[in-house]
A and B are shown apart, each in its own frame.
Chain A
Amino acid sequence: MTHLPSGPRPRVSTFDVVNAALMLTVLVVTLYPFLNVLAIAMNESQDTVRGGITVFPRHPTLANFQAIFAYGNIPQAFFISVARTVIGTVLSLGACAMVAYVLSRRDFLGRSLLSRFLAITLYVSGGLIPGFLLIRDLHLMNSFWVYILPTLVNAFNIFMIRSYMDELPIELQESARIDGANDLVIFVRIILPLCAPVLATVALFIAVGQWNSWFDTYLYNGSNPQLSTLQFELMKILQSTQAGADAMHSDQLKTQQITPDSIKMAITIITITPILIVYPFLQRYFVRGMTLGAVKG
């Protein structure tokens, strides 16, 4: 190589080497548990007992995954998890965007009142027991809607969408109004399409929250297998085997030559996979969204 154009050539110092090594350690420490679980989930169950599986399966097989779809309540729980994530995200995103649009309208009567009404919920909450008693009094226990309604309107998400809407040029709305469009039409036809990046970010937050939620199932629908979720099933399995009370499942597993450990890892992978699938697509959105919020806030 001939000499490069002038300018300071980047010099690699001791600092750079140490720093890169540290960052590499963070990378390994973060990724290893996931790779290890994946390797065990993909490995032949009886072989895993011998130990020594790190990041590659020794005897690759999909038998563990086949087994869990015949195991207990998993298929139903998977269905409920998908349903609450899809329905919850669509409804909550729609609701938050609508309220955000109303708040972004500077001429809206009662704008500051609404804004304060929502902001208070960020700081004060009734807490665990009053919340539980409310859900019970509303007869939302043993109901699918307990997954959707209590978190449908979220002040944080509303403020995030609103701060994006505030940046949109007002002239767009004014010209549409002159053409005879009402507020609902303006919202659906003009505002929503322009807000795609922030809506993607908020949708990701809501969807991840829905998918990962287990405590509402535990509290309200724990005794109803029809409404169980994947996270709750995983939680039950992890807790029961950790307490050493695995006898319940062992007969079912023995006939299939599948060990509890492999089952646990396979369900863990099923639980993480949807997140891994959407993560790369939405990553750039949420970083930008968070950055916007951070610089403003």
Chain B
Amino acid sequence: MHTSGLSPATRSRAEPRRRSRLLRRAYEQRYLYAMSLPFVALVFVFNYVPIWGWLTAFQRYRPGRPFWEQQWVGLKNFTDLFQDETFYLALRNTLGMSVLGLILGFTMPIIFALLLNELRDGLFKRTVQTVSYLPHFVSWVVVAGLVYKMLSTDGGPINQLIAHFGGQPVQFMAHSTYFWGVVVLSDLWKEIGWNTIIYLAAMTAIEPALYEAARVDGAGRWQLMRHITLPGISRVVIILFVLSIGHLTAIGFEKQLLLSNPVVKDSALVLDLYALQNGIGMNKFSFGTAIGVVNSLVGLALLFGANAFFRRRTGDSII
């Protein structure tokens, strides 16, 4: 310990003085505490207490009893879960839709941003940008309604296009085979514009002199894009990629719940939906919590795995 040469006597005299100085400073900041402590309490209740609620997964939770009167069952809920075939169906659907979503939902906004960046600044560019953000602000309830409308066999434009080119109408919403595609593509439709914002911002930070120099060296448009713009945003791309790997299992249930119907329910069941059905639908609170815990742990493992991989490759940690 570094005592900077003070004798014990001086330190013990300095100690209370330091404490009273701290107390005075705290008193001077009493308004700041008044402005933050009530909200700290709210965060504690609504964000921290549910984490404590994970313990429910190790209990046979019965509602209406205090915590210490609940019966502890160890890992029983988890062993039940790993023996349940439906769990593997839900895991498969979760990973399937999120991997598809990662491939499309990650690459398309980059391509879209690159192409938008090539438009000359003007009304057209601004219009495309403004319109492309719009679906982000509309609820999934509305989007699900639009998707049903657009894909319907009864005058939906997609089927009209298919008919126009001589094809047979397709019942997109009544076949399990299409469900993943419908979810992933409607998600892409909703978020592609919004997800470009961060890339466009990164592109404006690229030194214009780099483009000038490359142009003098005879670089064409594709070469500028490939050798200047893409490397210019690569850091942002890597950060977002690692973060989205961490979110792979956290795809939620909103799209799946709203877009599914009894015919396609086997393709729509994701882990969160499975937890919802068991935990709240069937009052199996502990089992539902166990599903949530497994889901979060898989997500954390993916996040740390991806981060470790990129740290080894680039020497740069993201989290």
> What is the interface of chain A, defined by CB distance below 8 A to chain B?
10, 13, 15-16, 19-20, 22-23, 26-27, 29-34, 36-37, 51-52, 54, 95, 98-99, 101-102, 105, 107-109, 114, 117-118, 121, 124-134, 136, 138, 149-150, 152-153, 155, 182-184, 187, 208, 211-215, 219, 231, 234-235, 238-239, 242-243, 264-265, 268, 271-272, 275, 279-280, 283, 287, 290-291, 294-295, 297
Contact = CB atoms under 8 A, between A and B. Distances in A.
Contacts of A126: 47, 49-54, 292
Size bracket of the B interface: 35 or more
Contacts of B35: 98-99, 101-102, 183-184, 187
B82 interface: no
Main DSSP-derived SS at the A contact region = helix
B16 interface: no
Contacts of B118: 15-16, 19
Given A19-B115, A149-B46, A129 B56 contact: yes
Contacts of B197: 287, 290-291, 294
Contacts of B142: 231, 234, 268, 271-272
30 contacts: A19-B118, A22-B115, A26-B128, A26-B131, A27-B131, A30-B134, A31-B131, A36-B150, A101-B35, A114-B36, A124-B51, A125-B47, A125-B51, A128-B279, A128-B280, A129-B53, A129-B56, A129-B285, A134-B49, A134-B53, A150-B46, A152-B39, A153-B43, A235-B258, A238-B148, A265-B149, A271-B142, A279-B134, A283-B130, A294-B236
B123 interface: no
Nearest to B38: A95
B295 A127 contact: yes
A96 to B, nearest CB: 8
A109 B25 contact: yes
A293 to B, nearest CB: 9
Given A212-B138, A287-B197, A102 B32 contact: yes
A32 B135 CA distance: 12
A162 B49 CA distance: 26
B115 A129 contact: no
B131 A183 contact: no
A279 B134 CA distance: 8
By Cβ-Cβ distance, the 4 closest A-B pairs, closest first, are A126-B50, A130-B53, A127-B292, A212-B139
Contact of B139 (A37, A95, A184, A214): A214
Given A149-B46, A182-B31, A184-B35, A27 B128 contact: yes
A276 to B, nearest CB: 8
Given A20-B124, A231-B139, A238-B144, A125 B50 contact: yes
B46 A128 contact: no
B19 interface: no
Nearest to B215: A8
Contacts, number: 227
B231 interface: no
Contacts of A138: 45
Contacts of B154: 51
A129 B288 contact: yes
Contacts of A242: 148, 173, 261
A124 B26 CA distance: 30
A258 B216 CA distance: 66
Nearest to B22: A109
B56 A183 contact: no
A128 B36 contact: no
Nearest to A214: B141
B296 interface: yes
Contact of B120 (A10, A211, A212, A272): A10
A291 B54 contact: no
Given A118-B43, A121-B47, 14 more contacts: A23-B115, A32-B157, A51-B155, A105-B32, A109-B25, A126-B53, A126-B54, A128-B275, A130-B292, A133-B61, A153-B42, A275-B137, A287-B133, A295-B205
Interface in B4-48: 22, 25-26, 29, 31-32, 34-36, 39-40, 42-43, 45-48
User: Most A CB atoms within 10 A — which of B140, B155, B292?
Assistant: B155
A109 B49 contact: no
Interface string B272-292: 100110011000010011001
B241 to A, nearest CB: 14
